[in-house]
Amino acid sequence: MAKIDARLREEVHLLGDLLGDTIGNQRGAAFVDKVELIRQGAKAARKGSAAGEQQLRATLDGLSDDELLPVARAFNQFLNLANIAEQYHRIRRRGPSEPEPFENRVLDELLQRLQGAGHKSEQLARQIGRLDIELVLTAHPTEVARRTLIQKYDAIAAQLAALDHTDLLAAERAQVQLRLRRLIAEAWHTEEIRRTRPSPVDEAKWGFAVIEHSLWQAVPNFLRRTDQALQAATGLRLPLEAAPIRFASWMGGDRDGNPNVTAQVSREVLLLARWMAADLYLRDIDQLAAELSMQQASAELLRVVGAQPEPYRALLKQLRERLRATRAWSEAALAAEVAPGPEVLHDNRELLEPLELCYHSLHACGMGVIAEGALLDCLRRAATFGLFLVRLDLRQDAARHAAALSEITDYLGLGRYAEWDEDARIGFLLRELDNRRPLLPPQHRPSADTAEVLATCRVAAAAPAASLGSYVISMAGAPSDVLAVQLLLKEAGLQRPIRVVPLFETLADLDNAGPAIDRLLGLHGYRARLHGPQEVMIGYSDSAKDAGTTAAAWAQYRAQETLVEVCREHEVELLLFHGRGGTVGRGGGPAHAAILSQPPGSVAGRFRTTEQGEMIRFKFGLPDLAEQNLNLYLAAVLEATLQPPPAPEPAWRAAMDRLAADGVAAYRAVVREHPQFVEYFSQATPEQELGRLPLGSRPAKRRAGGVESLRAIPWIFAWTQTRLMLPAWLGWETALGSALQRGEQALLAQMREQWPFFRTRIDMLEMVLAKADGSIAALYDQRLVSPELQPLGAQLRDLLSQSCAIVLGLTGQSELLAHSPETREAITVRNIYLDPLHLLQAELLARSRQRQSPVEGPLEQALLVTVAGIAAGLRNTG
């Protein structure tokens, strides 16, 4: 088996030693020895040693109550430090003889391949300049680590970078190691678990911090490299105004089932974004004003500033004053309704034009080398982030809009909207959308729920167009769901177009997505109001929870195919918005492969996707990591646009139909139809306790009820904690097993070899199975599950084993991830630190439930730390 890179192993060892020293300084050498005894026992047990397993259990059972929390914290902190080392290893300095990582060279190699396939230089340059990729940062209910710890972890990564020089003097190396020791001590003495849930505004501030500390630096670096790759391949430059990747956010706008997100919250977040953008640009302008001290300027620039000894500084001073006015107004408007003064910036051209004037003047005066430095970086940021930093999406459940309209039609004496059929709803909505009079009289006093829906629409109407993204409708199923939002926005005074986006989530809704959009686009009044592309959101999380990943993946694929065809027939551009999670059970997985596996024609220069949970930190938390992931997104969307995958063969489609039918039947037979399943889920996993973990501002459930009422995130999270990983694989074992019984081995092999969609699904399935562990899941059953329910657990673990065996047979490997030995080794090493956390968690859950009341104080904290540690060790929560 391939070993982990020696440098990575050395850094993990260094961080582990420093952590051990820190713990020893606080709790003494005997405690550190006990932690090491637990680790050695787990290591031996993983190798099959009965004595090692006995030692592990005996040591854990012998822990006193006051030792449970620090032991859990020790293993949790080590896994977080291992994550930091792994993250840095991906972006570490490479020697002259070392190859660049794939993420760094992906665009250069793609451009060569595209040129080899006959694409002209002008076409490539034009296509890259026109790419429209938007990454939507969602509220991070699965980000377990506290923000204060994330900042310390980032600082540790920076010290690893400082250490990564062979020519450091002994004193310099010692200084870096001292800083590392200090940072690790700070992290150890900081509570892992926040005491209170973050508010939606806190979540938005967390998103802004990712931009401030990482993306603000990464974006211009990424665009500079893109420009260089394009120039090397074609001789052409990336236009100044090009922004192939932009960012939006759901933080403070996603009110679906979250009563904490109100109209006032959305207004506050919009203002905070304007404040943060102005503040970041002010830092840039201060730097530029210090650098651009030159005297010679173009006639165009001099016409603007007049005769000035330092014309660039004079122009930048004017921009600086306007940015200061914008920042001051944003801050004042947070406290009260304040009209913006004439100096406040409203249009992005007001920001870009003085910067462009400086840029062109420097080039005209022979100072291009200066123009291509910090000034170009600022221009790139202005093109990407604009005056509003990120565009805020609004999201609300379709039922809330229908309820509001029912109240309104009832008030107007027209009957109850909710009781009308689709034709009646569409007729009413189209008539009212075309009617110039208001829908409601001024004296109308709505209920609290309807007032909140209307207030949200008023916030959208008042906000500048460039500050908003889309209005997303959860659980959409019909054209009236879209028209209803348009009418409510019109009633709120919205005078401009905004993309109103139906989100198709369940299996039935995905199957109906094409017909629903076909009917919507066939409505004359709707087409007249449609400006730009028709955006449609595909839900991965809820469709997988509804039907299992086998059927959901195929339904998502077919829905996209149908939507592409429908929009082509109506001569309307289509923008697909992918609501993907961080885990396989929620549509997660490597973004590059996922994009290249989409149906042909579905990625036509446009791509929109959510970035969720802890994946935001893992992919964009450090500038160099962010740059790598932006490279992957751009290259994948460019390739999928210009060289889309082939359409599936009829035999593949028929096989996938059979797989989906078998998969959904097997999944629902367990999750929906087994009489003991809900009770087993409640007993075998920490689902009950997850509601106490202050992960995010949203409640764990949309409403009271069983599994169907759970959000997709805690549904996945609970199974991940026990390592059964059930939502990601359940159904595949029956679907693939039935295919093999039908003699379709050769057909499945052909699909895997020639069809990116199927290959990517099997690859993601293999990854999640490698992280699953039936023996760990059995430990939870032994400690937590009543005897009459334990046979169901054994049955589910047997299905897991069947899944592993079938995937190995399909891939022709002797062990999972044999083709990726470093990844397999990383999982193996982490298990040594995860196993004690699993055992501790099962014990703490048992104690909590035996008391029939939540454990409190250090024991509750220990339980929550095990949750956080397991999430960190597996690198994904929900």
User: Bridge-partner residues for 610, per DSSP?
Assistant: 136
Q: What is the DSSP string of 766-789?
A: HHHHHH--HHHHHHHHHHHS-GGG
CA pair distance 327, 784, nearest whole angstrom: 55
Q: Give the residue, 777 or 877, on which the prediction is more confident.
A: 777
Least confident interval from 153-157, 352-356, 378-382: 153-157
Q: What is the DSSP string of 712-724?
A: HHHHHHHHHHHT-
CA distances from 717 to 582, 634, 674, 691, 722 (A): 11, 30, 21, 11, 9
Q: What is the DSSP string of 273-291?
A: HHHHHHHHHHHHHHHHHHH
Cβ neighbours of residue 564 closer than 8 Å, sequence gap 6 or more: 574, 599, 601, 602
Cβ neighbours of residue 869 closer than 8 Å, sequence gap 6 or more: 72, 75, 76, 79, 833, 834, 837
Helix, strand, coil share (%) of the chain residues, nearest 5:
65, 5, 25
The pLDDT of residue 874 is: 86
The 10s digit of each residue's pLDDT in 398-457 is 999 999 999 999 999 999 999 999 999 999 999 999 999 999 998 899 999 999 999 999
Q: Is 642 within 8 Å of 127 (Cβ atoms)? A: yes
The 10s digit of each residue's pLDDT in 574-618 is 999 998 755 434 444 578 888 999 999 999 999 999 998 678 888
Q: Give the residue, 865 or 405, on which the prediction is more confident.
A: 405
Q: Comparing C-alpha atoms, which of 549, 534, 485, 475 is closest to residue 508? A: 475
The pLDDT of residue 740 is: 96
For all residues of the chain together, what is the average pLDDT?
91
CA pair distance 719, 734, nearest whole angstrom: 20
**By percentage, how much of the chain surpasses pLDDT 70?**
94
Q: Give the residue, 477 or 542, on which the prediction is more confident.
A: 477
Q: Comparing C-alpha atoms, which of 717, 708, 714, 712 is closest to residue 673? A: 708
A 10 A CB-CB count for 17 gives 12
Residue 709 has pLDDT above 60, yes or no: no
The pLDDT of residue 583 is: 47
What is the average per-residue pLDDT within 522-537?
92
What is the average per-residue pLDDT within 869-876?
82
Q: Helices marked H in 372-506 — which ranges?
A: 376-385, 398-411, 422-434, 448-462, 479-491
The full length of the chain comes to: 878
**By percentage, how much of the chain surpasses pLDDT 90?**
74
Q: What is the DSSP string of 469-513?
A: EEEEEET--SHHHHHHHHHHHHHTT--S--EEEEEE-SHHHHHHH
The pLDDT of residue 145 is: 64
Q: Give the residue, 463 or 524, on which the prediction is more confident.
A: 463
Q: Is 518 within 8 Å of 566 (Cβ atoms)? A: yes
CA pair distance 672, 347, nearest whole angstrom: 52
The 10s digit of each residue's pLDDT in 30-57 is 999 999 999 999 989 988 899 998 999 8
Q: Comparing C-alpha atoms, which of 838, 618, 860, 877 is closest to residue 38? A: 838
Write 254-257 long-range contacts (CB < 8 A, 24+).
Answer: 254/138, 254/139, 254/393, 254/394, 254/395, 254/698, 255/394, 255/395, 255/396, 255/456, 256/395, 256/396, 256/397, 256/474, 257/397, 257/474, 257/698, 257/699, 257/702, 257/703, 257/711
What is the average per-residue pLDDT within 76-102?
87
The 10s digit of each residue's pLDDT in 482-501 is 999 999 999 999 989 999 99
CA pair distance 491, 485, nearest whole angstrom: 10
Residue 120 has pLDDT above 50, yes or no: yes
A 10 A CB-CB count for 535 gives 20
User: Bridge-partner residues for 710, per DSSP?
Assistant: 701
CA pair distance 846, 738, nearest whole angstrom: 39
Antiparallel, parallel or unpaired: β 574-579 and 245-249 = unpaired
The pLDDT of residue 576 is: 96
Helix (H, G, I), strand (E, B) or coil at 679: helix
Question: What domains are there in the chain, each with its CATH number?
Answer: 265-388 (1.20.1440.90), 397-610 (3.20.20), 650-874 (no CATH)
* Phi, psi of 576, rounded to the nearest 5 degrees: -90, 130
The 10s digit of each residue's pLDDT in 175-221 is 999 999 999 999 999 987 777 778 899 889 989 999 999 999 999 99
The pLDDT of residue 699 is: 56
Radius of gyration of the chain (CA): 28
Q: Which helix (H) or strand (E) holds 391?
A: strand 391-397
Residue 1 has pLDDT above 60, yes or no: no
The pLDDT of residue 856 is: 63
Antiparallel, parallel or unpaired: β 499-504 and 606-611 = unpaired
Cβ neighbours of residue 445 closer than 8 Å, sequence gap 6 or more: none
The 10s digit of each residue's pLDDT in 638-671 is 999 999 999 999 999 999 999 999 999 999 999 9
Q: How far is CA 108 from the centre of its chain?
A: 26
Question: Can you count the helices (H) and strands (E) in the chain?
Answer: 39, 8
CA distances from 428 to 424, 475, 482, 611, 770 (A): 6, 21, 13, 37, 54
Q: Comparing C-alpha atoms, which of 426, 418, 657 is closest to residue 525? A: 426
Active-site residue set: 140, 545
CA distances from 606 to 36, 530, 557, 640 (A): 52, 17, 17, 10
The pLDDT of residue 857 is: 76
Least confident interval from 658-662, 807-811, 844-848: 844-848
Residue 565 has pLDDT above 60, yes or no: yes
Q: What is the DSSP string of 284-336?
A: HHHHHHHH-------HHHHHHH-S-SSHHHHHHHHHHHHHHHHHHHHHHHHHS
Residue type, 27: R
CA pair distance 770, 503, nearest whole angstrom: 32
Cβ neighbours of residue 633 closer than 8 Å, sequence gap 6 or more: 133, 135, 245, 591, 592, 595, 607
Q: Comparing C-alpha atoms, which of 613, 625, 550, 619 is closest to residue 580? A: 613
Residue type, 83: N
**Using the 8-state DSSP alphabet, how is residue 371 labeled?**
I
The pLDDT of residue 849 is: 85
Cβ neighbours of residue 360 closer than 8 Å, sequence gap 6 or more: 298, 300, 371
